[in-house]
Structure 1
Amino acid sequence: MSRPIHWGLLSAGNIVGQFARDFAVVENAVIHAVAARNGDIASAFAREHGIAKAYEGYEGLLTDPDIDVIYIGTPHNLHFEHAKAALEHGKAVLCEKPMTVTPKECEELQRVAERTGGYLMEAMWTYFLPPVQTALRWVQEGRIGRICQIKADFGYPQLPFDSKKRVYDAKLAGGCLLEMGVYPVALAWLFMKQDPTEVQVVSRHAPNGVEDDLAVLFNYADAVATLGTSFRCKLQNWAYIIGEEGYIAIPDFWRAREASLYVLDDRVDHFVDERATDGFHYEAQAVTNDLLAGRAGSSVVAARDSLAIQRQMAMIREAFCDDV
C-alpha cells in the first residue's frame, strides 16, 4: 500500500479521545473519519482532533471505501456487534477490551474474521507498553527464575453508586470484572500463558447486584496469582512478577511507565519509558505495521490470548455468581 493506513474511529467517547490524541505520533497512518450516534458530537470530535470526516451513525463509517481499519470504543456489550459489522464490511478491526463479554462471542467473532479474511485484534494496549515488554523479556531471559507468584490489581472508586452509570449498568455489561478486572487477568495470562487449575473469588456487589469488588486467587500447577479489582476503592494498581531468584515490580502496570528488577532487597535493573503520550500509540503503530506488512493478525495480542482472557473471566464470574 503506497498511501498511509486510513483509520476510522467508531465512537467519540473518552477512551477514543485518548487514542486520538496519542495518534499524533503514529507513523504511516492517519485518522480519516470518526462516527458517533450524535452527529454534533462526532463533528466536534473531528474538529478537536483535526479529522477530515465525521459521520452521524455508524453506517457511513463502515461503508467508507477510504477506511482500512476501524478502532471500536463503544460500550462492552456492543463490541461484538460493531466488530462483526466492520469485519463484514472488509475493514480491519482494533476493538477495545474486553473485545466481547463472553467466550462464546469471542469465538464467534474470531470465526467471522477467519471467514472474511479480516484482521482482528483486541486493544490490550498494556501488552505493547515498553516497560511491560521489558519485564516479559527479563522473565524470558531467566532473570527471576521460575515464576512462583503474580500479584496484580486495578481499581478506582466509581462512587456514589448510580445504576444509570455505564459502569454499573448490567444491560451494558457493567461491573468491575469487565471494566477493570480485565487488566490483572490479562497481565496474569501474559506471564503464565496457562489456565489456573482452581479459581477462588471473594466478591462484593452493588445494590443492583453488579459486582463492584473482587479478590481473586488463581491456583496454577506450580504458581499462584492474586488479583483484585474494585469500584469501591483505589487499589495500588501495581503488578509484581515474583520468581525464585528475584521479582519485578511494575507501578501502575496498566499504563506502565517503568519497571524494576529486584534480587532480594536490591534493585539490579530499572527501565523507564520517557514517552510524552499516554501510550495508546504503541498498539496503533503495531496494527498499522501489521496491515502495511500484510499480516493476518497480531503476534502480541493473538486470537488465543483474547479467548484465554475471556475464558478466565468466565471462570471468575462462575466462581462468584452464587454470591449474588
Structure 2
Amino acid sequence: MGKKIRWGILGLGNIANSFVKDLALVNDAEIAAVASRSIEKAKLFAKEYQVPLAFGSYEELLECKDVDIVYIATPHSFHANLSIMAMDYGKHVLCEKPMGINREEVEKMLTSAKKNKVFLMEALWSRFNPAIRKVKSLVEAGEIGNVTYLHADFAFYAMDRDLQGRVLNPKLGGGSLLDIGIYPIFLAYLLLGKPNEVISTSSFHANGAEIQTSMIFKYPETHAVLYSGFTGKSAMMAQISGEKGTITIPNRWHQAQGYRVHKEDVEEAFELPTQGKGYFYEIKEVHACLAAGKLESNLWSHQNSLDLIGLIDTVRGQNGIRFS
C-alpha cells in the first residue's frame, strides 16, 4: 500500500461527522487532525473518531506538517477566508459547498489556488454520486430524447431553528438558497448547462433570512422548475422529461440510491446504492486528482464552480438576498 493522504478538518458540525465516517471507507486516506474554535469540541471529536491531533484554532491545524489536505466544513461565510488561508499554507483544499457566498469570493479562491499551485475543489458531493452520474450519461446519450422539462426541489421545515444558528442567520450565509437551493440549481446546470434566462422569487424571515425561493431556468427548448425552502417539506424528487421518456430520481435525490426510467408505458427501476452516505465518491475523486498531479477536477472544475455561483448570484440579485 502506498502512502496515505492525510486529511485535516476545519469545522466540526454535523457534516464533518458524516464526512469523517466516509473518509474511513477510503483505503488510502487517514484523518490526521481536526480543528474547532472550541478546543473542547475538537478534543471530543478527536476522541470519538480516534484522530491523532486536535486543535482549538484553525491556524494551528494549517501550520501542522502532518496534514496534506483540509476539508472545510464551517458555515458558508467562512469558506473563502479559510480556504485562502489554507492554500497560503500550501495545503490542498476540499471546500464544502457553496465554495463562496458570491462570485467575487470564488474568484479570489481560484486566484489563490493558482498562485499557490495547490488543488482546490468545491465539495458538491452530488456531482460524484453514481446514480446522478449515470443519469447524466443517459441524458447525454439521448435515452429520453431531447430534454423538454426538468423539475427538482429540496425543502424541509426549519422555521423552528435557532435564529443564531447556521440555517437562519444571514451573518453566516443562512437561508435556503445557499444551503439547499444550490442542489436544484446544480442539477439543472449539470444536465442542461447555463440557461438563457432566470426568473425567480423569494420570501423572507423577519430577520432578513431568505426562507423560500422558486426559480424557472429558461432554455431554448426546455424549462427547469426549481425550488428550495424552509417553510415546509417537499417531495425532494427530481424529474427529467424528454420527447421519448422520463427519468426520475426519487426522494432525497441529491443523495440518490438509484433512478427510474419510464418509456412507452413501461417503467424500470435501477438501484445504485452508495458506499457510506456518499461523501466517499468525492473523496475518491480528490485522491485521483492528487495522484495525477491535477490542481482541479474534470468532473467539477473551477469553471463549474464559477458558473454555479454566477447563477446563484443572479437569483440573489433578482430578490435582494443579502448576507451581513
Tell me the residue number matched to 2:312: 313
Q: How does 1:241-320 map to 2 (within 5 A)?
A: 241-251=240-250, 252-268=252-268, 270-320=269-319
Where does structure 1 differ by over 4 angstroms across 4 or more consecutive aligned residues? none
Q: Deviations over 1:205-251 (max 9, x none)?
A: 11112110111111112211100000001111111111111111011
The alignment status of 1:79 with 2:89, answered yes or no, reads: no
Distance 1:47 1:273 in 2: 33
Distance 2:108 2:314 in 1: 19
Conserved in 1, the CA contact under 8 Å of 2:70 and 2:91? yes
Distance 1:78 1:264 in 2: 49
Conserved in 2, the CA contact under 8 Å of 1:161 and 1:206? no
Distance 2:254 2:228 in 1: 12
Q: Compared with structure 1, are the counterparts of its residues 110 and 322 closer, same or farther at alpha carbon in structure 2 (3 Å cutoff)?
A: closer
Tell me the residue number matched to 1:104: 104
Answer with 221-230 or 154-163: which moved more: 154-163
List alignment gaps of at least 5 residues for structure 1.
none
Conserved in 1, the CA contact under 8 Å of 2:90 and 2:118? yes
Distance 1:30 1:164 in 2: 33
Distance 1:290 1:284 in 2: 10
CA displacement at 1:163 relative to structure 2: 2.7
CA displacement at 1:202 relative to structure 2: 2.6
Identity among equivalent positions (%) equals 35
Tell me the residue number matched to 2:45: 45
Q: For this pair of structures, how many residues does the alignment match? A: 321
Tell me the residue number matched to 2:34: 34
The alignment status of 1:218 with 2:200, answered yes or no, reads: no
Tell me the residue number matched to 2:16: 16
Conserved in 2, the CA contact under 8 Å of 1:39 and 1:57? yes
Distance 2:175 2:28 in 1: 37
Tell me the residue number matched to 2:206: 207
Q: How does 1:115-134 map to 2 (within 5 A)?
A: 115-134=115-134
Tell me the residue number matched to 1:177: 177
List alignment gaps of at least 5 residues for structure 2.
none
Distance 2:241 2:140 in 1: 13
What SS class does the counterpart of residue 168 from structure 1 fall into? coil
Q: Deviations over 1:117-161 (max 9, x none)?
A: 110000000011111011011112110111111110111110226
Tell me the residue number matched to 1:54: 54
Answer with 292-301 or 81-90: which moved more: 292-301
Distance 2:165 2:54 in 1: 26
What SS class does the counterpart of residue 166 from structure 1 fall into? coil
Distance 1:179 1:239 in 2: 18
CA displacement at 1:322 relative to structure 2: 8.7
Distance 1:244 1:319 in 2: 32
CA displacement at 1:50 relative to structure 2: 1.6
CA displacement at 1:72 relative to structure 2: 0.2
Distance 2:203 2:313 in 1: 17
CA displacement at 1:273 relative to structure 2: 2.2
Q: Deviations over 1:180-201 (max 9, x none)?
A: 101111111110122x222222
Q: TM-score, normalised by structure 2?
A: 0.95
CA displacement at 1:265 relative to structure 2: 3.3
Conserved in 2, the CA contact under 8 Å of 1:27 and 1:285? no
Could you tell me which amino acid in structure 2 is paired with residue 146 of structure 1? N
Distance 1:9 1:70 in 2: 6
Q: How does 1:113-152 map to 2 (within 5 A)?
A: 113-152=113-152
Q: TM-score, normalised by structure 1?
A: 0.95
Could you tell me which amino acid in structure 2 is paired with residue 230 of structure 1? G
Answer with 125-134 or 281-290: which moved more: 281-290
Answer with 209-218 or 122-131: which moved more: 209-218
